[in-house]
Amino acid sequence: MSQIEEKILAIIKKTKGVKEVTRASTWEELGVDSLDVAEFFMEVENELGVTIPDTEAQGLKTVGEVVDYVEKKKGGGAAGSLTH
């Protein structure tokens, strides 16, 4: 598991208070609404230093899709690092 994936899972657990999150988890399965999702993306942007346009965020339906998107933006791939 990459550092980016660990951080994203931690953000979800912290903001939603859920204990079990996987890459396959969807927002619906996690019980989040559109406001929760917007807050989550703002937190990811702040914590990881990436910009996720609303048009892109709307297409990210699973935790794994978010992880892959952020890793691609950070240029790190599966072994991505949080350092700039």
Q: Which residues are catalytic?
A: 33
Token pair of 41 as six digits? 């993306």
Closest CA to 82 of 50, 58, 59: 50
